[in-house]
Structure 1
Amino acid sequence: MHKIPDIAPFRKKLDELNDQMAAPDFYSDQRRAADISREQVRLSTLVEKFEAWHSTVQQLKENKAMAEDESVDEELREMAQEELESLAAQRDKLANDVLRFMIPPDATDSRNSVMEIRGGAGGDEANIFAGDLFRMYSRYAETRGWRVEVMSSSPADVGGFKEIIFMMTGEEAYKYLKFESGVHRVQRVPATETQGRIHTSTATVAVLPEAQEVDVELNMNDLDISTMRASGAGGQHVNTTDSAVMMVHKPTGVTVYCADERSQIKNRAKALTVMRSRLLKAKEEEEHAKYAAERKGQIGTGDRSERIRTYNYPQGRLTDHRIGLSLSLPTVVDGDLDDLIDALQNYDYEARIQNLLDQQTA
């Protein structure tokens, strides 16, 4: 059982938030009000969990004392003894709940998510695999009631995608998807393989929090924006109007291309959304790098060069290499990601809890 850090600073912060929420002009800034309200709910729940934990600890002590006190009626002692196991389990669960609520959520957890999937090593099979991953995430989105909007895509001739960028819109989408960034490896016999040989191919996934204008200072003078005629499938229209938009952020070299919409204005808006999200992600990674030593044990860096998972079709097994978890492949690729994502989140929580406790004893 983990030791519970001092609750006093959290109580003090909760009192401060309650005072802010009582101010007459609290809702004048809607975004700030929403952020404060979420934090107030988290800290209120933390204090409630702590009170329940403290009460359970006291009850456990009383039951132990009663069970060992021979002057107490034997029937009462037996009842006290019987409750010890369930009380201990309740105490440990509440302790874990308290520690989890002590961990502040990432500021972007509540955001929508921009996802980018690209075929990697393996030629045509890599592009087909990129398409399989897109379907997997789309089906997962359906189970959560999220909306999937393609921002930009480059279909491959044999099927799948050379690249596809899409928005996941739904409650806490980034929180659930952020650990998907990295290299995904597939081992299987491609449909084009005539001799039944197993090939290994890869696709890269990048998961970005949807950025808001206040997150990134984007000077329009820093953008080199050009328009052109879109290429690929889409009917006559793609060949007759300059609807595609290429956007380059000159200070960083970040480039975004959007051509899925027939309207240049819509493609420009989508390109700006992706550009802001990429710049925000770069900003986050820079901040994370500063505190990498304090984040020991957490799940990777989210870097798209890190191999995170293998999809082994001959053995019907999916393995996440970061946490050593293996699951049935068919259910996962069909969009049932709950067990996988729960395991990744729990692993991350445990690492962050341990970091919190290490800081308390440092």
Structure 2
Amino acid sequence: MKKASFIQKLEGSKKEFYEISKSIIQPNIISDQKKYKILLKKYLKLEKIVSLYEKYNKKLALLQEADFILKNDSDADLKELASIEKYKILENLSSIEKESYDLIFSLSNETEETTENHRNAIVELRSGTGGDEACLFVEDILRMYTMYFKKSGWKYKIIHAQKGGIKGYKEIILDVNGKEGVYGNLKFESGVHRVQRIPKTESQGRVHTSAITVAVLPQVKDIEVNINLSDIKKETFRSSGAGGQHVNKTESAVRLTHLPSKITVECQEERSQHKNFEKAINVLRSRIYQNEKEKRLKEISIKRKSLVSTGDRSVKIRTYNYPKSRVTDHRIHKSIYDLAGFMNGNIQEMINFLKFIENKK
């Protein structure tokens, strides 16, 4: 970055800092928690930039003094000291420039995607190729994630579950909530997860390959996605999951179809039809939001900065090889030789590698 452009950006940051410092204390901003948090985060980053800018100007003033002595003073000892001081100042200026540039760059890259990282998430698991074995693997991955949620201090609720033919699940949808960073961590899990192992039903000991799909969506509020109720077809039916005699007596399960987009959502985990409707609406809202976001990206031809979090469900992202006790992420060509630990929820190491690659792009 050229010096003039760099100074211009510092001046712009300083101006924005003082503007935000005035607006952030206004009652209408304080009462809006979402807007307040966004502005506060930006304020704190800008505060660091302004502090560095002040330090930078002080060093420039000292550099001018050293240059004046070197140019005008006849004392050899004093000129030598000024020369040493100038070298130190130039090193300090270079360090401040680099730190300021990094902060300015990170601030300018606070896009919709990075702010989404702090959202809660909807996680959808579905069996793919492999029949009953795929349903069993959905259950295994569900256990892996719930153990990871526990380690992370997050809470989850089952929104919808459809049992497999013998055991496991054909489909299960979770509502995952935490203090922050839920979607920012889980978004890397979207895609096809493949398993290679000997099924319990295999008498000849042959390794079979099955696959499931994982979709992770950011949770959104009703103010962000406005759904017209006249565009929704609502159907009710009897629940087929756990719940005793109740599930066979009342039509508490809800199926919602968003007619313009043809997106369908089911929820049957609650005894109350009203509660199932609320949960289904939340999932529907997240799916519509995700669809619209993907359309915008295509329309303006923006390629994501990394392939590691595209969320494309057709992309094979990971293989779980049981005979070799190995889990491999194909996006970053990273293998971990502790499949048992991974399946017990120790997946943060892999997520951290994915984060590193994404931020590096």
TM-score bucket of the superposed structures, by smaller chain: 0.7 to 0.9
TM-score (norm. length: structure 2): 0.80
Structure 1 position 238 matched with structure 2 position 247 = yes
Do structure 1's residue 333 and structure 2's residue 328 form an aligned pair? Answer: no
- Correspondences of 1:262-301 after superposition (within 5 Å): 262-301=271-310
Q: Describe the superposition over 1:304-327 as per-residue Cα deviations: whole angstroms up to 9, x where unpaired.
A: 111111111111111111111111
Shift of 1:54: 11
Output the CA distance in 1 between the equivalents of 2:138 and 2:153: 23
Work out which of the residue numbers 154, 158, 162 in structure 1 matches 2:162.
Answer: 154
| Structure 1 match to 2:172 | 164
The answer to whether the Cα contact below 8 Å between 2:137 and 2:212 also exists between their aligned partners in 1 is yes
Kindly provide the amino acid, as one letter, of the partner of residue 165 in structure 1.
Answer: I
Q: 1:235 to 1:322 in 2, by over 3 A?
A: same
Match of 2:124 among 102, 108, 116: 116
Q: Quick one: which of 306, 313, 321 aligns to 1:304?
A: 313
Distance 2:157 2:347 in 1: 20
Residue 138 (structure 2) pairs with residue 130 (structure 1): yes
Q: Offset at 1:296? A: 4.5
Task: Describe the superposition over 1:324-344 as per-residue Cα deviations: whole angstroms up to 9, x where unpaired.
Answer: 111132222211122111111
Number of residue-to-residue matches in the alignment: 329
* 3-state secondary structure, aligned to 1:251: coil
For 2:298, the aligned partner's letter is A
2:142, 2:312 → 1: CA distance? 19
The aligned runs of 1:1-362 (5 Å cut-off) are 6-45=9-48, 99-104=105-110, 106=113, 107-170=115-178, 171-328=180-337, 329-351=339-361
SS at match of 2:18: helix
User: Which of the pair has more CA radius of gyration?
Assistant: 2
Which residue identity lines up with residue 347 of structure 1 in the other structure?
I
Tell me the distance in 2 between the aligned counterparts of 1:174 and 1:350. Answer: 19
Give CA-to-partner distance per residue, 1:170-223, whole Å, 9 cap, x none. Answer: 022111111111111111111111111111111100001111011111011111
Return closer, same or farther for 1:275/1:317 CA change in 2, 3 Å cut-off. same
Partner Cα separation in structure 2 for residue 49 and residue 154 of structure 1: 56
Q: Is the 8 A contact 2:10 2:49 kept in 1?
A: no
Unaligned runs of 5+ in 2: 60-79
TM-score, normalised to structure 1, is 0.80
The 1-side partners of 2:324 and 2:52 are apart by 44
Q: Secondary structure at the match of 1:299?
A: helix
* Residues 47 and 342 (structure 1), Cα distance of their counterparts in 2 relative to 1, 3 Å cut: farther
C-alpha deviation, 1:37, in angstroms = 2.0
User: Retained in 1: the 8 A contact 2:127–2:170?
Assistant: yes
Displacement of 1:286 in angstroms is 1.7
Amino acid at match of 2:39: I
Please give the secondary structure, in 2, of the residue aligned with 1:285: helix
2: distance between equivalents of 1:120 and 1:49? 54
Return the letter of the residue paired with 2:297: H
Please give the secondary structure, in 2, of the residue aligned with 1:121.
Answer: coil
Deviation string 1:268-318 (CA, Å, 9 cap, x unpaired) is 111111111111111221223245545344425211111111111111111
Deviations 1:217-247 (A, max 9, x none): 1011111111111124432111100111111
**Which structure 1 segments of 5+ residues have no match?**
57-70, 352-362
Alpha-carbon distance in structure 2 between the residues aligned to 1:238 and 1:126: 26
Determine the C-alpha separation between the residues in 2 that align with 1:264 and 1:273.
14
The CA RMSD measured in Å over matched residues stands at 3.3
Taking structure 1 as reference, are residues 283 and 53 closer, same or farther at Cα in structure 2, changes over 3 Å only?
farther
Change (3 A) 1:322 1:149: same
